[in-house]
Structure 1
Amino acid sequence: MRGPHNIWRLIRTGATFERTGAMAVALEALEAPPLLRAAARILGWPFQWLGYEGDPSQPPVLRAITALGPAYIKFGQVLSTRPDIVGDDLARELRVLQDELPPFPRDEAMAAFETAIGKPVDEVFSEFSEPIAAASLAQVHKAVLRATGQTVAVKVLRPGIERAFMRDVDAFYLAAWLVDTLAPFTRRLKPREVIRHFEGVVLGELDLRMEASAAAEFATNTAGEAGFRVPAVIWPATDRRVLTLEWVSGTHMGDIDALRARGVDLNRLSERVIQLFLTHALRDGYFHGDMHQGNLKLGPDDALVALDFGIMGRIDAYTRRVYAEILMGFLRRDYHRVAELHFEAGYVPADQDTDAFAQALRSIGEPIFGQDSTQISMARLLAHLFEVTERFGMETRTELILLQRTMVVVEGVARSLNPSMNMWEMSRPVVTQYIADNLGPKAFARDFTTAVQILARIAPRLPQLAEQAITRASAPPEELAKKAVPGWAWALGGAVGGGFLVALVTLV
């Protein structure tokens, strides 16, 4: 939040939003109180001449964001994953911010490649095309490896994008602080944490080695999965500012006519999209966070191919189990159990009423089961869920928001293939299998085996740990600082104690 340039940048941002008509739309999406809306208009109107005009053919918010530059476009993309903040309509509008920027010259991309890799382009590639796609942070070229003749996709960061991003993110932090201070009703949405999350996402995307690593991890997790694959990373031609992947041929998922012409079973493909996403999220805890049609292709072998790994989601094993149980609770219409799970996981404050929360959840679930499958909307369901959780004081959790938002996007992809698809029925087999594998007897046996293995590995250290603990307990206070048991030892002892407890309970 330092420097007068941040204040000037915010003034120009506000002026641009006012000049393009985006200010009123944004305040409406945030459900700002009338007083705040009036104050924003009064303060913004005199300075609107300082704002950028933008493209009058675009909707107001897109017009303002694209006029303000790449960092704002990227922020708009991230906000498109947060319908809880901007609302469903604006989130849907912001999703078009994918490949809308003009490209930079091919010569600059080639120079950037040579600087990053340390070799001339002609030495690495026999062909290097003009840009075929340009987004907010980078653009893509099609090339052919000279050594092997393999066709590849080369992604190159925009020149100077790192400096431009860091300049703007400082202004975003100042804006978040002002919003948090002047608009207390937004605090549940944690505006500063939203900016921190945005900064982390984009810093990861500004180091293309991280995207390469994400692609490699995703490929490893899904290696044995029939009908799904991830392009291989070409590591010798990858660095911080350059990413090279194998080229993927196939039909874009948004080209329904071309899919039909191939004779693809669209209903089955719709089901595969839903079930693959849920499998990755629940089984691996690592999922593609931007699975729109532009990032999916159907390969010549009918395998579904994922592209663009800049936004990936990760959820821990405990959260996955809770989430699966919540989904299963909705599928079984056991709203009281779903409510209990929210309290057990700490998602809802303990001072709230479980029965009242269960009743509110029933108001979400029952309309679904009373509708025809063509009328079931995950977007509407999540919008209602956000309203309910806000009423009961549930705090925003970024990883669950991304998971839920991606479910909305995946549902949109699946419904474009099969308008009568039923999200819940397609989800049931994956969720049921996950529950059986992770909450049933097999899971108990696996957890017990793991505990025994940990116990066996640590057993030789138990006497020493016990002696240290006894010595610490009996030592005078002045000696405690000198003989303190390291934190790792206490953690180790806790793990051992946990293993003993599991074994004891099981044997009893």
Structure 2
Amino acid sequence: MRAGWTLAREGALGLVDVHDLPAPARLVVRLGRLVEKRNVSGGKGLAAALVKLGPSWVKLGQFLATRPDVVGFAVARDLEELQDRMPPFPQAVAIAEIERALGGPLHQFFAELSEPVAAASVAQVHKGVIRDADGEREVAVKVLRPGVDRRFRSDLSTFYFAARTIERLDPRSKRLKPVETVDMLARTVAFEMDSRLEAAALSEMAENIADDPDFRIPAPDWNRTARSVLTLEWIEGIPLSDIDRLKAAGFDLVDLARIIIQSFLRHAIRDGFFHADMHQGNLMIDASGQLVAVDFGIMGRAGLKERRFLAEILHGFITRNYRRVAEVHFEAGYVPSSHSIDDFAQAIRAIGEPIHQKRADEISMAKLLTLLFEITELFDMKTRPELILLQKTMVVVEGVARRLNPKLDMWTTADPVVRDWIERNLGPLGKLSDLGQQTREAGKSFTLLPSLLNRAETLAERLNEATEKGFALKPESIEAIGRAEARRNRWGNAALWIIAFAALYLAWNLV
């Protein structure tokens, strides 16, 4: 109710096209528009409403800002304000939080600390200076917003209520697993609320991408990092949201779009560990032309099964092998075996053929997502919570790349990364690697064999002893059994008395 009122009051309902809605929904939208403020615009009103509703809603706005092909370019521009230009909290509050978190006065850790240079829904960033034995260096100091964890908990309670209500009112929605989806969001939020975990994510990803030529990340400063404060290398660069500055600096936007797509696919498919919040506000280009990502609060992981699924799906679409795409869905258990592989391959072809060899600006992502949703319902496909972050990030990354290169060919761009992974992991080299892994696992099992045999022998001896002498019970166990039996007898007696009184009552009424 609060969300509906806030959206209506800020004029966000003006963005809704009522023509395709059922009659009750059209009535709700029209009634909602009666309470909207005067002189509000849809996009700015939506952004204002999401800020008022809380940080989780702001995340939704950041996601929508990357998809102008779905929400429209004007709305997407208004929603970009949510990425790194939120209202900051006071400098004094930030300093107090830094001193509390790090356990000492500010000057003990930083020689200088600027006013906020960027503010988002979860935290704001200050530019700091450190002077120590290594000299002077600039750092970014990220401070969590006071009370943001409490607001997230409030949002999550709302989402849980909505998810359970949806499942109760519409049993068909259970295949979308709304409650499990909120569970996944809750786990993600828990990680985002601890800056030490973000520093650990930076450290792990730095190891993974050490040899990548086009992508880098800032290094964390562990000595100046705590639960609510993260200190890391200062990055000087141009945000990907500033297209005009990128052009003026002479960067090749087409090549930048390629780097974004291929970097994400390498991290997701090759490493199984990826930045799951890659909107324009978290990406920039440094002077050397490298793509630099910041804000590692939300990270995604993909197991070998999910990585193979993603690689084979993309490879199948690239090569137009829709039968193989269908088989992979069945092998992974994403489509119930009661359906036909051939029928599902036909449905996949209906998705793939219209977009194959088409430029990004020739594809309606809104129509494509609608078709995908209809097919998942037709084939009883359930939401896979383990794939949600991966799928969401793919949509965001493709949206960012399309802004840089509206004629982006997704399939040609993805092909080198996907093909390399397929050859390494599913080709002859991959099979040899699997054989080696299986041999190592068999070797481990063989070394455990003596221990397993000893345990089996001990178990057999104890069972034999119990058969001959019976099972010995401790005094406290006998006492607990007696108490349980007494309770059972009391309830049994009570039940008999209730039955007796009921019989007498019935007999009295009959008489």
Shorter-chain TM-score bucket reads: 0.7 to 0.9
What's the counterpart of residue 40 of structure 2? 56
TM-score (norm 2): 0.80
CA drift at 1:349: 0.9
Alignment of 1:192-231 (within 5 A): 192-231=179-218
Contact 2:58–2:121 under 8 Å retained in 1: yes
Contact 1:313–1:402 under 8 Å retained in 2: yes
Contact 1:54–1:67 under 8 Å retained in 2: no
Task: Name the SS of the counterpart of 2:124 in structure 1.
Answer: strand
Q: Distance in 2 between matches of 1:384 and 1:402?
A: 21
Deviations 1:17-36 (A, max 9, x none): 3434546867979x975446
Contact 1:266–1:417 under 8 Å retained in 2: yes
What's the counterpart of residue 89 of structure 1? 71
Residues 420/25 of structure 1: CA separation in 2 closer, same or farther (3 Å cut): closer
Task: Name the SS of the counterpart of 1:122 in structure 2.
Answer: helix
What's the counterpart of residue 358 of structure 2? 371
Which range moves more in the overlay, 276-285 or 170-179? 170-179
Q: 2:3 aligns with which of 13, 26, 29?
A: 13
Aligned residues: 461
Which range moves more in the overlay, 209-218 or 393-402? 393-402
Q: Distance in 1 between matches of 2:59 and 2:288?
A: 34
Contact 2:335–2:379 under 8 Å retained in 1: yes
Q: Distance in 2 between matches of 1:54 and 1:104?
A: 28
Matched, 1:112 2:94: no
Residues 217/27 of structure 1: CA separation in 2 closer, same or farther (3 Å cut): farther
Deviations 1:397-440 (A, max 9, x none): 23433323322332233333333331101111111110000001
Cα RMSD, aligned residues only? 3.4
Matched, 1:242 2:229: yes
TM-score (norm 1): 0.80
CA drift at 1:94: 5.8
What's the counterpart of residue 314 of structure 1? 301
Residues 440/378 of structure 1: CA separation in 2 closer, same or farther (3 Å cut): farther
Residues 370/414 of structure 1: CA separation in 2 closer, same or farther (3 Å cut): closer
Contact 1:287–1:314 under 8 Å retained in 2: yes
Deviations 1:217-274 (A, max 9, x none): 1111111211211100011111101011100012222333333333333333322222
CA drift at 1:461: 2.4
CA drift at 1:338: 0.9
What's the counterpart of residue 441 of structure 2? 454
Residues 268/62 of structure 1: CA separation in 2 closer, same or farther (3 Å cut): closer
Q: Distance in 2 between matches of 1:477 and 1:288?
A: 58
Identity of aligned pairs, percent?
48
Residues 302/12 of structure 1: CA separation in 2 closer, same or farther (3 Å cut): closer
Task: Name the SS of the counterpart of 1:149 in structure 2.
Answer: strand
Residues 349/478 of structure 1: CA separation in 2 closer, same or farther (3 Å cut): farther
Q: Distance in 2 between matches of 1:331 and 1:120?
A: 57
Q: Distance in 1 between matches of 2:425 and 2:329?
A: 19
Q: 1:135 aligns with which of 113, 120, 133?
A: 120
Paired letter, 1:431: V
Deviations 1:63-96 (A, max 9, x none): 3322234454346557889x9xxx9439968665
Which range moves more in the overlay, 376-385 or 294-303? 376-385
What's the counterpart of residue 269 of structure 2? 282
Where structure 1 has 5 or more consecutive residues not aligned to the other structure, the ranges are: 1-10, 483-508
CA drift at 1:370: 5.6
Contact 2:191–2:197 under 8 Å retained in 1: yes
Q: Distance in 2 between matches of 1:103 and 1:421?
A: 36
Residues 256/101 of structure 1: CA separation in 2 closer, same or farther (3 Å cut): closer
Residues 375/72 of structure 1: CA separation in 2 closer, same or farther (3 Å cut): closer
Matched, 1:265 2:252: yes
Residues 62/391 of structure 1: CA separation in 2 closer, same or farther (3 Å cut): farther
Which range moves more in the overlay, 432-441 or 251-260? 251-260
Q: Distance in 2 between matches of 1:120 and 1:71?
A: 33
Q: Distance in 1 between matches of 2:234 and 2:81?
A: 24
